[in-house]
Amino acid sequence: MATHKGTIGILTGGGDVPGLNPAIRAATVRALREGYRVIGLRRGWAGLVELDRNKKEPQPEQFIELSEEIVNKIGRTGGTFLHSSRTRASHVPRAAVLPQLQSIYQDDVNDLTPEVLKNLEWLGISTLIPIGGDDTLSYAVRLHQEGVKIIAIPKTMDNDVPGTDYCIGFSTCVTRTIEMTHALRTTAGSHERFLVIEVFGRYAGFTALLPTMAGAANRCVIPEHVFDLEHLCELLTADRYSNPSKYSVVLVSEGARFKGMEAMAFEGEEADMFGHKKLGGIGDLVSRKLKEISPKFTSGKKIDVINQRLGYLVRCGNPDAVDSIVPMAFGNLALDLALDGVSGRLVNVRNGRYDNVPIDVVVSRKKVVDVHKFYSTDRLRPMYSRFESKPLFIMTSDF
C-alpha cells in the first residue's frame, strides 16, 4: 500500500470565476509530485456538511480523489469542476441537515462545525486549501481557530478580499468589461443614447472604477459613494454633447446607491446562508431615472437609454493570461507553505510580489475603494494622479 506525506483537501466556494481550475490543477499536481494524496471536496463547504460517514460506498457528490489526469483536463478552462455553493457550515438550516443528525441539530439554523471537523478527520485531510472570497474564507478562519491546518487562496471578481492586491478572477472580469463596453458603443452611438452598464461589485467598486480608468466609460458610480442622479445626468449629457457620435457611457456597480435609496437594489428578498440577498436592478433604476431627468439638461428633449447588465458574461468562459498565471503561482505558494509545515495563512500578491499573510486578515476589515485617493465624487470618475509605485491594478492595495 502506497504511503503519503499526508492528504491535501481542496475546495472552491462562492461564485465561479475564470482561474479556479488552474489553481486546483497547480495545487494538485504539485502536491502529488511532492508525495501527498489530494481530495477535491465538492460544492464548497457543502461537501463537508453533507458527507455521510456511515456510508461504505463512494460519495462522488461530496468528494473525489484527484489525479494529474483529472486536473490536466480542466486546468485551462473556466469555472470550477469541483462545483461550488454558498453553504455556510456554521449556519445550516435544519432542513439541510442530514436525516441521521437532525436529532442532534434541532435549531432552525445550526452550527455543523463539529461534523465538519469529524469529516475532515474521517477523510484523513491534514491540510485544507479553500479557494474563495471573504465569505468562503471567513469560515476557513473559523476552522483555523478550531485547529485545522488551513492555507487559503483568494478568489473574487470584485477583488475585495482583504490582505491581497489581487484575487483570482479580477483580471478576466475587467478585460471582459472593457471589451463588452466598447462593443456596445456601436449601438449607443448609432442611436445617440446614454449607455448604462451594470457590473459586479456589492461593496467594492474596483470592477467599475478600473475599466473606467482604462477608458471604457465616461463615468462610473460605485458602492462607496452615494451619488446624485441629477448630477450624473448632467455629466453624461455634457459627455454626450462633446462626443461627435452623441452618446456617453456610465458603469454602475451592482451595489451602488443614489440619494433617496434606502438600500441596494435586490432581485428578491431571499438571502443565502451568509445573509446576502441577490443583487440586481440598479442599472434598470438608473436608466429609467436618467431618461426622466434628461430633459432638464437638453431644453426639454428626452435622451433614450441603452441598459445592459453584464452579469455572468464576465465570469464565464476561459481565464485571461493573468488569471492563468496567478492561480498557478497561488497553488504552488500554498504547497510551499504546506511543505514547510506552515498553516493559517492567506497566499497573496503585494506590490507585485507573491507572499502570504495571516488568514485572520480576511475577517479583520473590509477592502473597498479609498474614495479620497482614487475617486472624484464631483466628477464621478477615477482620479488620475501619482501613479509612481502604485501596484499593477492601481487602486487594489489595502496595506
Query: What's the one-letter identity of residue 377?
Result: T
**Upper half-sphere CA count for residue 290 (Cβ side, 13 Å):** 28
- How far is Cα 142 from Cα 116, in angstroms, rounded to an integer? 11
Please, what CATH class does the domain formed by 172-314+371-382 belong to?
alpha beta
Sign of CA dihedral 144, 149, 151, 157: negative
Cell 461627435 maps to which residue? 244
Which CATH architecture best describes the domain 7-168+317-363?
A: 3-Layer(aba) Sandwich (3.40)
- Cβ within 8 Å of residue 301, ≥6 positions away: 294, 295
SS3 call for 237: helix
Contact predicate 161/206, CB 8 Å: no
Q: Which residues contact 113 (CB under 8 A, 6 or more apart)?
A: 89, 90, 142, 143, 146
Give the pLDDT score at 246. Answer: 97
Domain ranges of the chain: 7-168+317-363, 172-314+371-382
Residues contacting residue 323 through CB under 8 Å, at least 6 positions apart: 17, 18, 19, 22, 168, 169, 170, 171, 172
Q: What is the pLDDT of residue 76?
A: 84
**Start-to-end C-alpha separation, the chain:** 48
| pLDDT for the residue 199 | 96
The residues that are catalytic are 158
Q: What is the pLDDT along the chain (399 residues), one digit of tens a residue?
A: 456 789 999 999 999 999 999 999 999 999 999 999 999 999 999 999 999 999 989 999 999 999 999 999 888 899 999 999 999 999 999 999 999 999 999 999 999 999 999 999 999 999 999 999 999 999 999 999 999 999 999 999 999 999 999 999 999 999 999 999 999 999 999 999 999 999 999 899 999 999 999 999 999 999 999 999 999 999 999 999 999 999 999 999 999 999 998 877 766 666 666 666 666 689 999 999 999 999 999 999 999 999 999 999 999 999 999 999 999 999 999 999 999 999 999 999 998 899 999 999 999 999 999 999 999 999 999 998 878 888 888 876 555
**Helical (H) or strand (E) element with 233:** helix 229-242
* Of 383, 357, 355, the residue nearest 369 (C-alpha): 383
172-314+371-382 and 7-168+317-363 share a CATH fold: yes
pLDDT attached to residue 1? 41
The span from the CA of 44 to the CA of 190, in Å, is 45
For 63, other C-beta atoms within 10 Å of its C-beta total 21
Phi and psi at residue 278, to the nearest 5°: -75, 120
Spatial distance between the Cα atoms of 107 and 119, rounded to a whole number of angstroms: 21
Cβ pair 316, 225 in contact under 8 A: no
